[in-house]
Structure 1
């Protein structure tokens, strides 16, 4: 009886067991040379990365007749138990062992030419009902992006069932795995590079590898002179620096600035490596090569025509890439609702900052402001809070008019859990009722209609403030 791995179906990769551009389909499913070819062959240079096509459990890994070495992964899908089979790897090209639980996209092997093989390639099979359970082999071509339109109905049914997941694994962060202060900026950084392999879990894995999430006084300058949680060299920081939290300073030691700059740098690397793969100048996985470029420079990737090797590249760059991809799987969430919620939160926070900063410098006017903007030429504190809240929620949330009424809404949160859009209450009367309200826009920073300044300004969150989340 196969182990039940998940109550919901896993997701297929859009590129199948190998990254698009790294292989050529050299042999199809069906009759071949007087016998039936049970899978497809994907020709590629020796060492090219092979990925798990589905979440699952490794039920075989090692020597197998005809395959040289093989890996068999059992997965539960909406269409029942399936197995994916990967063959012809050399001994040093098998990176998992029997009993391992793997995620779709995990780097499990390297292309070889072991066993009954005339050249380096991946032999890939798909079995309905399980390979070791005497199931039925079906055409795996629909799991590739260039799915064959003539594939059998069984194969198409299998592919559709596998692809039913609403999101790709790895897009969101697993709850509690990453320090909370990094989460919003990892999500923002990934959102700044849409439709790519630069996900929040990948960026989290990179920060883990670079600094182990240390920052501030806990992190000293490296021996190479690298700075901050993303370990930027000073010259590189000058190129990629960004003021992500809008506090007027691009600070390499700031979590927000460093992580978003890291994401932008990685996005450019990914764009360059993707273009190189498409043109034929590079061989490999675009994300792996982007990580290598972050570590060794894009010039090293170009010179190698793919993953750099030899010397420090073998002892440092390649392990760096492998380590981050392992961390990526550790930090990834496959829960659709969590991913959906994270995406909505990033969108809301972006809208909060946009709406709050729209009227910076506008005059303070007692009683001014509503859901439509300033009135009488300005805002007071609750009027600004009402406008920002209404605008950033798309009109779904309207606050009452006064500070005292707004104080009764939502749930109090600690300062370390505050997020853009939360309300900051201060200036307490003897009865513990606030007289003033601002809006969080980043860690430790709010925007408010200030009577002292006579206008809307950014300011540090007061030490005696209490913060309420109303989302």
Structure 2
């Protein structure tokens, strides 16, 4: 948001994205959030691992790093058949993709690993062997291209380089062999097999019922449930076939929700896995997106109490995963009374499919939005006057938690400087340009709620600035959900949101992802890295 060429884009982009109207269609019951069924192109690797750039067994090392016969060789050559699939070694942002002197074509991916910047470089692809573009956010093990013999090459191979500090930002090359030694085969996933979610987690939703939702035997003890609880159980069973069990009525409990028939517990298969947590997040998001239709009172998921109205808060530690709601999503409804003879429950809300109210309101892709894992805040380095507001700002929406907001404000203001002013006039903790503050800023009350007209308050006030930055991030994220769901926007949702803050939402829409601006490319890596310092262990 700071560079001169980006400042105008922020203002224009803010206006453009607030006018966006999008309808998401989900033909044939296909999962609108994961239209590929959840299988990444490269199969992925276990979390935290590096990926080999070529599948083990598909290549041989034909030239090493700065060998005696090639002391100027900055990388390693991996000989492989022309057209062999090529994968990203680590997650990051593509900062170069296309023609390059000597390489024929190259791909440069910038990474942040353990807080430090690195680049991996892939060379000698044919023109049709580059499968990514500048601005794409990739994951470790993702397919990025194919081996070729373009440029200064005497045979098909991948020329691989690793740069400490970044290839295009003044870093220094380093031997790639240690990276190869610790890398795993692409497609190894989390269990050493191709990285597809377990069958029960990756099933596509059943096409939504045009009228009455079918009954389901997945709801246990359904007989004593009130209407709202039955409606939720049927909708979840229909839209999320991975769910196999939904707890219902029970005669006794410490709380009246289940004995009264007002609550259900949606059990999450393999809840400790990435896929299980994602399934629980999506169910929670789906229910919140349609809380009024379902008459929801509150939810509990992964130790977070989430009321239909008001701010979520972390519950006390009750001991077991079940008591802390890590293995199920608890939903309490208003009730709706006991079912009558011939009771009808209607169709399941779908978040799209010609629903005009959603095309105007923006909840069409709400159940596709990403979630943080409810990180708590480490306040050690945060000035006292900001702590309350960063904590409140982290509850505005699910895309923004307190550590991310802290990292953004820290980076923007060069260390939480209230009076920070950039060379182009961006001001305060969140470095708002005056024109952006005029539409996105506002004075807030002691609870963080807007208490003045647009443009009131001050970007140097801890409360006004922190809450304005949080609201602006959340507005950007909401405006991007539909594009993420339908593929108009590609890349990591968090990176897209941060790119919108830095370069303007309109620029992200224009490029269909993180814009190819050097400042923005760095920004989407630096802010999450800064956020880690403010996340409690």
Establish whether TM, by shorter chain, passes 0.5: no
Which of structures 1 and 2 has the larger relative contact order (alpha carbons within 8 angstroms, sep 6+)? Answer: 2
Q: Bigger radius of gyration, 1 or 2?
A: 1
Normalization by structure 2: what TM-score? 0.39
Normalization by structure 1: what TM-score? 0.44
